[in-house]
């Protein structure tokens, strides 16, 4: 008995020492490595969910970012300096997000593209603010995602999407009575819904049914659709991701209910859903900053390169991440930052440069940023006709 106790004590002590001293050693080794090679390259980190049920979004961001940085490096890097990148999994969770951020910090990250999801982003932005590390989120839509001055956003914010959607529907007289189906357990979906509801009141639109679902029961939408149908909604507004929306469209067809459907940027990707019957999405309208079918050369090159590299059609997450990397390039060249500057120096220089650049990428033209980190972007409304986006 006594022996066992001593044994366990020794084990614990040994473990504590190896775990912490081990890390400490690695850390100091990295410090040396970092200072010698740190002057040669920029280190850009990225975070997002690579596992868990939001993995689809994090993977897209990772791929988009990777593609852009490879291109940037081939074209000579940022101001002639090559870029190194690293992407860490955060499982779309606040706590894991901070862990991922800290892992990247240990790797001597200088700028961050991330995080992919709003919830994790809100926690990470508080950390990066403390370090004054420059951060641009490709797809964190909630207001608090860019709460601090070191954080900028590539996508629309929740209020922007909800408000613009309501205005768009009212202006084009698309419908008077609207039902909303939203994910009450999701920051993104809930945020858009609330802002849509606010603006709808101002615009004289009537919300006849607002039906929620949760991430735990996101398979069966019969009740929500039945209620929308009974309330006589001419249009159903779907502020959610395309994976859930595809089930709603299929169910509505089965029920013989055919209102018009209107979605947000999360809807983009529905046409490329593997094996999806695109006739279900016929007539669906959505606001999206990016379309894989856009005719311009930039988009077509991106889509082709992405397909070649990853065997999938890119969605707007990938496009936002791709643009984010190029935004960093534009701002960094404007600010004239050097890799041997400290994280705060880079942060200060980038913050200033971000408000001065004008950027044209896949997800918008002539985008500028205010000090609040919000981009000025015009959402493009598209309608799906014959299995392709048609600009409205």
Partner 1 sequence: MSFLSYLINGVSLGSVYAIIALGYTMVYGIAKMLNFAHGDIIMVGGYAAFLAMVNAGLSPLIGVLVSIVVCTLLGVVIERIAYKPLRMAPPLAVLITAIGVSYFLQNLALLLFGADTKTFKSVISFKGISLAGGALQISGVTIVTIAACIVIVVGLSLFINKTRAGQAMLAVSEDRGAAQLMGINVNKTIALTFAIGSALAAIAGVLLCSAYPSLNPYTGAMPGIKAFVAAVFGGIGSVPGAMVGGILLGIIEILAKAYISSQLADAIVFAMLIIILLVKPTGIFGKKIQEKV
Partner 2 sequence: MRHLQKTTKSNFITYGIVILTAVIIQILSSAGAVSSLIGGLLVPLCAYMILAISLNLVVGILGDLSLGHAGFMCVGAFASAFFSKMTAGTMPDGLRFFFALLIGAAAAGLFGILIGIPVLRLRGDYLAIVTLAFGEIIKNVINVFFIGRDSSGLHFSMKDSVALNLDSTGEVIVNGPQGINGTPKDSTFLIGMFLLLIALIIILNLINSRAGRAIMSIRDDRIAAESIGINITKFKLMAFSISAALAGVAGVLYAHNLSSLVASPKSFGYNMSIMILVFVVLGGIGNIRGSLIAAFILTLLPEMLRGLSNYRMLIYAIVLILMMIFNWSKGGGRLKEMVAERLRGLRKPRTKEVK
DSSP letter assigned to residue 217: G
Binding of residue 55 to partner 1 (CB under 8 A): yes
Pick from 113, 109, 128, 100: nearest CA to 42: 109
21 binds, among partner 1, partner 2, none (CB under 5 to 8 A by kind): partner 2
- For the chain, the first-to-last Cα distance in angstroms comes to 78
**Total Cβ atoms within 10 A of residue 27:** 11
Q: How many angstroms separate the Cα of 358 from the Cα of each of 191, 364, 369, 376?
A: 28, 11, 8, 10
Residue 347 CB, shortest distance to partner 2, in Å, is: 16
Our CB check for partner 2 shows the closer of 15 and 40 to be: 15
Our CB check for partner 2 shows the closer of 63 and 363 to be: 63
- Show the site string, 188-207: x = touches partner 1 by CB under 8 A, - = not: --------------------
Binding part of the chain for partner 1, among 16-24, 102-110, 232-240, 272-280 by CB under 8 A, reads 272-280
CA atoms of 4 and 375, how far apart (whole Å): 62
Binding of residue 99 to partner 1 (CB under 8 A): no
**Total Cβ atoms within 10 A of residue 390:** 12
Task: Look at the alpha carbons of 98, 82, 334, 139 in this order and tell me if their dihedral is positive or negative.
Answer: negative
**Total Cβ atoms within 10 A of residue 93:** 18
Chain residues 275-294 in contact with partner 1, contact rule CB under 8 A: 275-277
**Residues at the contact surface with partner 2, assessed by CB under 8 A:** 1, 3-13, 15-17, 19-21, 23-24, 26-28, 50-52, 88-89, 91-95, 98-99, 101-103, 105-106, 118-119, 122-123, 125-127, 142, 144, 147, 184-187, 190-191, 193-194, 197-198, 214-216
CA atoms of 229 and 208, how far apart (whole Å): 10
Binding of residue 312 to partner 1 (CB under 8 A): yes
Binding part of the chain for partner 1, among 145-153, 172-180, 223-231, 336-344 by CB under 8 A, reads 223-231
* DSSP letters spanning 75-93: TT-BTTBEEEEEEEE-TT-
Our CB check for partner 2 shows the closer of 127 and 345 to be: 127
Binding of residue 213 to partner 1 (CB under 8 A): yes
Residue 97 CB, shortest distance to partner 1, in Å, is: 18
CA atoms of 238 and 252, how far apart (whole Å): 13
CA atoms of 266 and 29, how far apart (whole Å): 43
Which residues in this chain contact partner 1 in the complex, by CB under 8 A?
50-53, 55-56, 58-59, 184, 211-214, 216-217, 219-220, 222-224, 226-227, 230, 243, 246-247, 250, 254-256, 273-277, 312
């Amino acid at each position: 008995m006594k022996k066992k106790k001593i044994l366990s004590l020794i084990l614990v002590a040994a473990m504590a020492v190896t775990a912490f001293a081990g890390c400490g050693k690695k850390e100091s080794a990295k410090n040396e490595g970092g200072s010698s090679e740190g002057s040669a390259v920029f280190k850009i980190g990225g975070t997002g969910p690579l596992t868990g049920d939001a993995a689809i979004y994090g993977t897209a961001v990772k791929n988009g970012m990777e593609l852009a940085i490879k291109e940037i490096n081939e074209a000579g890097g940022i101001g002639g300096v090559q870029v190194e990148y690293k992407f860490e999994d955060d499982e779309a969770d606040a706590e894991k997000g901070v862990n991922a951020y800290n892992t990247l910090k240990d790797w001597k990250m200088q700028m961050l593209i991330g995080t992919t999801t709003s919830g994790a982003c809100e926690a990470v932005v508080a950390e990066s603010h403390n370090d004054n590390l420059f951060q641009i989120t490709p797809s964190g839509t909630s207001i608090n995602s860019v709460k601090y001055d070191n954080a900028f956003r590539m996508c629309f914010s929740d209020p922007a999407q909800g408000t613009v959607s309501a205005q768009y529907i009212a202006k084009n007289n698309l419908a008077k009575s609207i039902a909303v189906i939203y994910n009450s357990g999701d920051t993104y979906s809930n945020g858009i819904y609330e802002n849509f509801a606010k603006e709808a009141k101002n615009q004289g639109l009537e919300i006849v049914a607002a039906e929620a679902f949760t991430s735990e029961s996101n398979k069966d939408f019969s009740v929500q659709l039945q209620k929308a149908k009974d309330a006589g909604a001419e249009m159903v507004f779907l502020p959610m991701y395309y994976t859930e929306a595809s089930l709603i469209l299929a169910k509505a067809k089965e029920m013989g209910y055919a209102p018009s459907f209107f979605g947000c940027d999360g809807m983009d990707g529905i046409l490329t859903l593997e094996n999806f019957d695109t006739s279900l999405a016929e007539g669906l309208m959505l606001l999206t900053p990016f379309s894989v079918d856009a005719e311009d050369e930039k988009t077509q090159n991106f889509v082709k390169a992405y397909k070649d590299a990853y065997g999938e059609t890119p969605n707007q997450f990938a496009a936002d991440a791709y643009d984010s990397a190029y935004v960093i390039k534009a701002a960094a060249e404007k600010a004239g930052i050097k890799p041997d500057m400290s994280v705060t120096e880079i942060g200060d220089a980038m913050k200033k440069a971000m408000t001065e650049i004008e950027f044209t990428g896949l997800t918008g033209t002539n985008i500028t940023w205010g000090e609040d980190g919000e981009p000025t972007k015009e959402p493009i409304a598209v309608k799906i006709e014959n299995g392709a986006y048609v600009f409205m």
